[in-house]
Amino acid sequence: MDWNIDFALSSIVFLASIFVFFMAHKRLRIIENKSYTILFFALFGYFIFELISTALDSEPRPEATLYYLTWIANIAYFFFLGLQSYFFYLFFVSHMHLTKSKWRVVFYCLSTLPLIAAYIILFLSPSLHTVFWINEEGIYKGGQLYKTFVILCGVYPSLALLTVLFLWKRAPKMIDLKLVISSLLLVIGYVFRFAMPGTVILPTFTVLSVIVAYIGIGNPRYYMNEKTGLFSQNGMVLMLDEAIREKKNAPVLLLVITQYQKSRDLYRDKEMDRWLIKIAKFLNSQPLKVAVSYNHEGRFMILTKSEEDAREMELLIFDKLLNTEDKDVASGLNQNLGIIECLDSSSYESGDEYLRSIERAVSLAEAGKVIPVDDEVREKQKRESYVQKCLAKAIREQNVIVLFQPLKDLKNGTFHSGEALTRIYGKDGEIIPPSEFIYLAEQNGSIRDLSDIVYEKVLDFLAANPEETTQIKSISVNLSPIQCLDPNLPKDLIARAKAKGVALSRINFEITESAFINLDYLRKQMEHLIEAGGSFSLDDFGTGYSDLARVTSLPFESIKFDISLVRSYCSGQNTFLPYLSKAVKNNKRMIVAEGIEDADIEKKVSDLGIDFGQGFHYSKVLPPDEFVEFIKNQAN
């Protein structure tokens, strides 16, 4: 096969189309894309000089000017051949995310050696006829080192293939296999070039390789968000990752629609989407050089180049977006914007960690305010991930501490019941309180496993301490709202108590008002357990909506007044507790008062006719054996 002008021209047109397409689309500002862009310049040079030099070589051209032009065109052709193979290599290696270090510099310097050697023998061609030469008639002739030149250039595709094969786990998912195929195609092209110098099959493989690489990195689905036309969270992570790897500061703003779910319910999907697109357009049209992504649920992330740019962006958002009187936007929506700001990215190790840290601060977002992710927030997050690990370990090893706090029967001054309260171990024997891990367990779904362990321990405790010998009538166990939604919960709790030989009448379940998601369903779940002998208390009454009518529509045996309610009554801040107690009593529910910290509180609470008291005045939380002792010594 001879060099075919049609093919060369169509290759150039083809490459140009891919290039225009690539440039016309929004691209992530990352090294992979930059190296792909540079590669095109070398490829255009390669194809254009291939065309020119072939046109000049094929006929005898003894005229002086054309003779020299043939030399120049061929040198340029070989120059770009070397350059495109080197840039191909850089393109593949850029996906491997080598971290900034001395070694990376050494690596890149060493990798230029074959190219330098190739260029040396290329530029010796006019004097020593190394790679090629042009005879007096202007005809192209191969030189003795032609094959050496091809091997030196062919080192790059082979190195690229090896790098990709060895390090492909480092490349973001979805593009790794395409990288292998793309570099393999190039290697095959070079093998042909070496084995059959007369054929011109390398350009075909080059074009194929560029196409496969384009499919790999240019697929917008991977890094774009369709709805807003902004980058996706995936894309943002790649950009953050690179900034962190290159040790560049990457100040980020997270623009949050506070109360997102509520707003969606209120304004409906269409209106909300319109608002999202409006914000996206606004953020995209700012003169500052920023990269913007739409992460999810009303969260936009803005990656800026400097702290000053971040601050300027904040002002723009507040000025133009928050205070807009745009009639097009449902009134009120623009008032719901808050910003989480992180100006220092130096403490993060990856883009993913950085993004997660900012996302976790979303709960702090407030409309109209900028909340910085500062050292305090970061400390909190560090603690949270530490507790998360301890929790996972506690569940894995079933190593959970269950303590008991006695409840005093205020009518006769005796102690026959208690509440089971959980703790877990940290490192070095530290004991972590439930306020630090229950919400995490609820968030990550491990609350079921945790509760199973606690329930098991309570059952074991009750089985080992029958009422007749220890006077322990019942133990209260806390259930999380998520558990109450589980249709298998009642069956499961009943079966397990039965298996341990514990009567369900010895167990009282405490739930809070946050479990009131579907009252009818909850009532069914409760009735199932009550039928089997169990009972229910409403925990933390006074902290939620505390709608007594709703509360009394459910079969609670008792209502627990939260410590805040007891405190505010005893300090004279609220005067309605007597009425509330009366109303509860009228509904034939018992009352437990939490937070009995001294005799004075006990007296005030007893005077209201409250049935049970719980608090440090009687006892702190106790290990099982001390709890048994406590009941033995103080009951009767």
Q: What element of type H or E holds 422? A: strand 414-425
When binding is defined by CB under 6 A, the residue of 142, 433, 487, 533 that contacts ligand C2E is 433
Rg (CA), the chain: 37
Q: Say whether residue 434 binds ligand C2E (CB under 6 A).
A: yes
Indicate the residue type of 442.
E
Least spacing, CB of residue 545 vs ligand C2E, in Å: 17
Report residue 413 as tokens.
Answer: 């001054």
In the complex, minimum distance from the CB of residue 211 to ligand C2E, in angstroms, rounded to a whole number: 56
CB 360 within 8 A of CB 381: yes
Is residue 37 classed as helix, strand or coil in its secondary structure?
A: helix
**Applying CB under 6 A, which of residues 83, 276, 577, 621 lies at the interface with ligand C2E?**
621
- Does residue 339 contact residue 256 with C-beta atoms inside 8 Å? yes
Structure tokens at 412: 């006769």
> Rounded to the nearest whole angstrom, what is the least distance from the CB of residue 434 to Mg ion in the complex?
10
At closest approach, how far in Å is the CB of 449 from Mg ion? 19
Contact status: 452 vs ligand C2E (CB under 6 A): no
Q: Which listed residue (218, 338, 534, 615) binds ligand C2E by CB under 6 A?
A: 615
The DSSP symbol for 330 reads P
Stretch that binds ligand C2E, among 356-364, 493-501, 572-580, 610-618 (CB under 6 A): 610-618
Up-side HSE of residue 523: CA atoms within 13 Å toward CB? 9
Site for ligand C2E in 523-542 (CB under 6 A): 539-540
What contacts 24+ positions apart, CB below 8 Å, involve 281-290? 282/320, 282/321, 283/230, 283/255, 284/229, 284/230, 286/313, 286/316, 288/312, 288/313, 288/316
| Stretch of 236-244, 407-415, 430-438, 570-578 contacting ligand C2E, by CB under 6 A | 430-438
- Which residue's CB is nearer to ligand C2E, number 28 or number 454? 454
What ranges make up the beta strands (E) of 462-609?
474-478, 507-511, 535-541, 558-561, 590-593
Whose Cβ is closer to ligand C2E: residue 203's or residue 418's?
418
**Residue number, 321 or 453, with CB nearest to Mg ion:** 453
Selection from ligand C2E, Mg ion, none that 563 binds (CB < 5 to 8 A by kind) is: ligand C2E
What is the footprint of ligand C2E within residues 575-594 (CB under 6 A)? Answer: 594
CB closer to ligand C2E, 216 vs 624:
624
- For ligand C2E, the closer CB: 421 or 580: 421
Q: How many residues bind ligand C2E (CB under 6 A)?
A: 24
Give the separation between CA 56 and CA 70, rounded to whole angstroms: 6
CB of residue 104 vs ligand C2E: minimum separation in angstroms?
50
Q: Report in angstroms how near the CB of residue 582 gets to Mg ion at its nearest.
A: 21
Selected from 84, 225, 422, 537, the binder of ligand C2E by CB under 6 A is 422
CB hemisphere CA count around 41 (13 angstroms): 6
- Span from 328-336, 341-349, 427-435, 570-578 in contact with ligand C2E (CB under 6 A): 427-435
| Phi, psi of 524, deg, nearest 5 | -60, -45
242 binds, among ligand C2E, Mg ion, none (CB under 5 to 8 A by kind): none
Residue list 467-496, contact with ligand C2E (CB under 6 A): 478-480
Nearer to Mg ion, 336 or 478 (CB): 478
DSSP assignment of 485-506 equals: T-TTHHHHHHHHHHHTT--GGG
**632: Cα separation from own chain's centroid:** 52
Q: Which is nearer to Mg ion, 133 or 556 (CB)?
A: 556
Residue 510 or 611: the one with the smaller Cβ distance to Mg ion is: 510
| Closest C-alpha to 121, from 83, 79, 70, 73 | 79
* Spatial CB neighbours of 336, under 8 Å, sequence gap ≥ 6: 257, 258, 259, 263, 367
CA dihedral 465, 468, 470, 471 (to 10 degrees): 120
Contacts to Mg ion by CB under 5 A: 478, 510, 539-540
Residue 435 binds which entry of ligand C2E, Mg ion, none, with Cβ cut-offs from 5 to 8 Å by kind?
Answer: ligand C2E
Q: Which stretch binds ligand C2E (CB under 6 A): 32-40, 209-217, 267-275, 615-623?
A: 615-623
Would you count residue 122 as binding ligand C2E (CB under 6 A)? no
Q: State how far the Cα of 85 lies from the Cα of 387, in Å rounded to an integer.
A: 51
List beta partners, residue 475. Answer: 418, 507
Residue 438 contacts ligand C2E per CB under 6 A: yes
Q: Tell me which residues touch ligand C2E (CB under 6 A).
A: 405, 421-422, 433-435, 438, 451, 454, 478-480, 510, 539-540, 563, 594-597, 614-616, 621
